[in-house]
Structure 1
Amino acid sequence: MSQRPRIIIAQRQRLALNANLSASIRLLRSDTAGLTRYLEEQAAENPHVRLVGPEPAAIGDWLPRWSGVLAFGKAGQTTASEPASAQPSLIAHVVAAVQALALPRVEHAIALALLEALEPSGWLGRPLAEIAAELDHPATEVEAVLQRLQKIDPPGLFARSLAECLALQVEDLGKLDREMAVLLNHLDLLASGGTRRLAQLCGCDEAGIAQRFRLIRTLNPKPGAGFSTANPAEAREPDLLARPLQGGRWQVALNRSALPTVEVSGTGGEDGAANPAGLQAAKALQHMVEARNDTLLRVGREIVTRQAEALAQGPGALRPMVMADLAEALGLHVSTISRVVAGASLDGPTGVWWLRQMFSAARGAADAGQEAMASDGVSVAALRHRLGRLIATEPRAAPLSDAALADRLAAETGVRLARRTIAQYRAAEGFPAAHRRRLRPLKARRKTGTPKDGQV
């Protein structure tokens, strides 16, 4: 065999990421906060890039999560309408938190009674005096336990009104001063735009009222709705806003109050002379931001169209949807859909959703004779949510086994799951096994002896 060097002409094809393509991919994966930071860095380096805004939210510009909450009654309070039973993950989280408090026996019984009165919104659904009379305990003792339960994360749980719910959240942020306390006690004026009257009551100017309104706007009026033990989307400005319209239609828009606008300046530098390379880079950046916003809006509208029921009713109504479905409908690549929904969030009537959270594969085949919803399969997210709701509403003295839960879920959805799959979904929702969920009645515990403090 000849070992002499040879010259070979070959043709190869490869994909190389230039600077613009790399920046475009980065923008697609950026949420509103990350995009704003990147644009600020580019504006500091390139004098041809000028950022405008974003304009701060004006008083009365509420996010969609406040819909149905600011309907003030005669007493100046509100009600947060939610489904009949509490969110399963919320119940599991609060039960675990109550156990971790290791309360004495009497206080533990009071805490369980308050837990039974917890609504899906995270508010306390019954008057404190009524609960105290049922338990035959002084109202002051019940309120002392309530104050301990109000320390459970997220802030705002076990509130008795909207004002108290928001006050707990503002106090957790360390911003509950006298002016904010007065403002929270007059939310009816804030909702109707009575800025001058509020300024007189709070003893500050209208700019101070507007600043405090923008803080209140970012809070969660229903901390239990769509509950997640760690949902950072609640504490930041959403990327998209989804509002229901008449006729079952939805309006989806970019959150312009959190996103600056990129403008290209023809002059730059200290002498005002234009830099051709910098000017071209500024125009390219403007085009990439517009393309990112357009793609995010298209994807968001398609998601809302497919998951409208979930936005209105909660995770239990999530339909099967994978990224390939959106890619085919929008004429985009699956990787583009994945990058767009990576860190973006959407604010709707039931709270803040991560866009990635709304994707879920179908599970199981529908049995004959089942309802139409099950005929196309049920999403894994909806099955997990319904399973958690079955556990949340089960008898405390006789919890359902995994096999019984599988039967109940099959009767409700038409999807038969294996017992080990039920166990996986149950653990993912934060519920222990049936023998660990069993709670003996207080009277039975007294007959068998007095347990130690904090023991169930």
Structure 2
Amino acid sequence: MLQGLSQRQTQTMSGQMLHSLTILGMSSEELSDYLAERAQANPCVAYRPPAAFTRARSEDFDAVAAIASDRPSLLAHVAEQIELAFPQTADRLIALRFAEALEPTGWLGQPVDTIAMLANVPEARALRILDRLQSFEPAGLFARNLAECLTLQAREADLLTWEVETLLANLDLVAKNRLKELADLCDCETSDIPDIMAQLKGLNPKPGLAFDHTPAPVLPPDLIATKGPDGWTVELNRATSATITVQEDRLADGTASTEARAARRRALAEARSLAQALERRGDTLLRTAAVLVARQAHFLDRGPAYLAPLTLEDVAAELGLHASTISRAVSGRMIQTPTRALPLRAFFARAVGSSHDNDGVSRDSALQFVRRAVEREDPENPLSDGAIVDLAERSGLRIARRTVTKYRLSLGLGSSYDRRRQALARKR
């Protein structure tokens, strides 16, 4: 008997926790719509919409621009598949880095080595993640070029013969009409090339265009950060917060039937549970933002070069919560600072090594160091990547030479030879 009671209590608690986590992950607009629905269905819930949404919908709302598309967004489509395909958090975060790099066509808009650098993982691991991403539907997503896009689709359609694969690997010959050379590579006659190409006619070179690319409407930030004499403080933006009131007096009718009273008790229990979930949501958002602002005060004061290493796990440990809860709390959230609105994700940074302390510095700081080093160099005697490594070491920053090279490339900076040649050309 006691075991059964314990199981029922555990199931109830798990259901309440799941409900709270679901509400935590909702955007302010999603939450507002959800609460409005619950108020319609539950007489014990009195709903008040957020003031910011009410004003936006009545005064500044562009009804034509806001017509909802019947197509899902490309990012939402792949994010849903990522959740299912990557149960491990670390792999899922790398996969999301790839998703963020998708062009509207469905192709990758960044080189794999750049994505690996941004995710702070070896390129080989990033390639393994990419291999799984390229199995997503529709076939052809996450391709790095036209040939790879069509190859993925041909393989999915069971069309990838040796001849087709060879033709796709040499599309430049098709564009130049060098069919005799292509036929030699495919080990066929020139007259066979049109038949091989005909097999590709049903393939889609831009599978991402099947999805909606209308940008989401920009809504007011969920949080507000201000700086006073005692430092930074954070508060919830009440203008974006929908509220409910539990109306317990709806149960006062003593003449109702037993069945009606039971239904009202259930409605009241649901209303109270919803109110508690809302309170927990606000508390979690506020506590999370407070930690981010406190830990990244120098970033807010001075800019990205002063972003300290900080991960979801760090914040979770400080608050005594799970990292997945922090991930839900920061996903899609914006915070208004005195100068601009920032996504909460901007407060996180992976560390690179430091010779002076155990905490290291953030990747953003290292990127800024490389950029500043090149900006301040003698244009006619530019710094090699090795020299930048030595300069960083003298400044207390330990970076591998290959990391400096990746950072330099991601910043669009040429090699020391290229920079010197450009400087001499300008001098002439």
TM-score (norm. length: structure 2):
0.50
Q: Which has the higher helix share?
A: 2
TM-score (norm. length: structure 1):
0.47
Q: Flag the structure with more relative contact order, 1 or 2, with Cα contacts below 8 A and sequence separation at least 6.
A: 1
